[in-house]
Amino acid sequence: MNLVNVTISTRRRQNRNPKRPVRRLIKKNGHSNVIRTTISSLRDRYWRDLGNTLVNLSWLWTLFCLTACFMLSWTMFATVWMLIGTSNSDNFVNNTTPCLVGIEGFTGYMMFSIETQQTIGYGGRYITNNCPEGTFLISLQMILSGAICGGMVCIVNAKLVRPIQRFSKHLFSKKAVINLRDGELCLIFRIRDDNMRYAIGTTINAYLVQSRVEEPFLKSVTLEPFGLLLWPLEIVHKITPSSPFWDLSAKELITKQFELIVMMTGTSAITGQSSKTRGSYLSKEIFWGSRFRPCVYYNSLENSYFVDHALFDEIEETSIPLCSAQRLGEVIEEIITPNPEDENRVILTELDVYETCSPSCSRAKASIASSYDSLNHSSYENITEEMKEMRLGKRRAVKEVDRILERVIKDVKDFSDEVEETNM
């Protein structure tokens, strides 16, 4: 039985128990699944860091806060102007020293407050030099107006230049696969950038969520260089001895639960605006023994490359080993590493050839035999028996390995059947 030809069907994903809870840190759309419960009061959560709160608000709430700030300031100063005018009896006809001229009712004071704060310019409504409190108030209103305008401009600018959190549903593939690349097991997922928002300084990071004393922590996963993001690319992680998936087999991928978080950042070549997005893959979304279907083809009529986005998430099955990368490396090492008895086997072969030669070969045969005797062996006949025993032992070992592999495959199939019966 050949280990490399052993395959696993992707239908095993349907055998998972859907009632088992899934502990996910990052949702599929890129939003965080973390709720901070240590902040008890509303003041500690929002007002102590009001700048970040306003920047992190949605645009709708930012416009609402902007409008509310101006409306409240206009109304507040209009009320103060009305109190000053009422105390100075500006509405009396016989008043020869009015503070405010041309104002009638609260609407007039409101219009005067807006004209003062927005520096529109006075028309029929204006202030005189008969009240010093009005001079102080108009100075205070101009200072506050500059502070409000400057603060809101800074908040809007910070929202424009900050990295935008894009939805990751259309940027990352829905599935990840484990397949052979150049004789090594690799974990692969796809990315794309249709609007070229990540064309400059594109970086992609991956982290494995693990648990330590019931608290999750992130372990960095090394990714291979991916080149230019001109079309959908496959991001590859080689499963090496330093990889957290080094001892992961197909059976453990079914039974274990873990999460792989991926994040992409970059800058748009058109607007210069930086963006970032993130996504995640649960263990049930990683398919062993599969590969992505090609989605880029050349159109000779248009003389251009075309991308078929309908195939972006499509995968197909391949034949790869079910064992872990660690075990696969050990098997390959046993195959390619020279056997210590290979040198003995070569010498014995030469001796067999010289036995069939004429007596003139006796001198060469004696030379080979003497070199063979230097290997601390007693005689040619004893070594022949040792080689026969070694060959028989090797055959027994191969048969034993075949029996072990058959039992492993049978256990995997039995496990899948049991889970399927449980789901039904």
Instruction: Using DSSP, state whether 214 is helix, strand or coil.
Output: coil
Amino acid at 348: L
pLDDT, tens digit, 9 for 90 and up, residues 127-181: 887 788 888 888 888 888 888 888 888 888 888 776 655 555 578 888 999 999 8
pLDDT at residue number 356: 52
Place 207 in a pLDDT band, splitting at 50, 70 and 90.
very high
Helix 132-161, helix 105-117: angle, nearest 10: 60
CA dihedral 220, 221, 227, 229 (to 10 degrees): -80
Between 239 and 330, where is the model more confident? 239
Beginning with the edge strand found earlier in the chain, give each strand of the sheet holding 286-288 in spatial order. 233-238, 184-191, 176-181, 286-288
pLDDT, tens digit, 9 for 90 and up, residues 70-90: 899 999 999 998 888 888 777
Between 39 and 252, where is the model more confident? 252
Out of 11-20, 59-68, 230-239, 329-338, least confident range:
11-20
pTM above 0.95, yes or no: no
Beta bridge partners of 261: 207, 280
Structure tokens at 75: 């109304």
Residue 368 and residue 382 in contact, taking contact as beta carbons nearer than 8 Å:
no
Establish whether domains 3-30+167-327 and 42-164 are of one fold. Answer: no
Architecture in CATH for domain 3-30+167-327:
Sandwich (2.60)
pLDDT at residue number 166: 54
Q: What are phi and psi of 130, to 5 degrees?
A: -90, -10
- What is the per-residue DSSP string for 180-238? EETTEEEEEEEE--TT-TT-EEEEEEEEEEEEETTEEEEEEE--------SS-EEEEEE
pLDDT at residue number 367: 56
pLDDT, tens digit, 9 for 90 and up, residues 391-424: 566 667 667 766 776 776 677 667 666 656 665 5
Distances (CA, A) of 167 to 29, 30, 234, 279, 419: 5, 6, 19, 9, 34
Q: Write down the H helix ranges in 303-379.
A: 325-336, 342-355, 362-373
Longest dimension (CA), the chain: 150
pLDDT at residue number 177: 94
Structure tokens at 130: 């008969």
* pLDDT of 188 above 60: yes
* pLDDT of 189 above 80: yes
pLDDT at residue number 194: 76
* pLDDT of 287 above 90: yes
Out of 125-129, 214-218, 373-377, least confident range:
373-377
Q: How far is CA 110 from the centre of its chain?
A: 53
Domain spans of the chain, in order of start:
3-30+167-327, 42-164, 339-423
Computed over every residue of the chain, the mean pLDDT equals 75
Average pLDDT estimate for 269-281: 81
Q: What CATH number should be reported for the domain whose range is 42-164?
A: 1.10.287.70
pLDDT at residue number 2: 41
Q: Compute the distance between CA of residue 390 and CA of residue 123 in angstroms, rounded to an integer.
A: 112
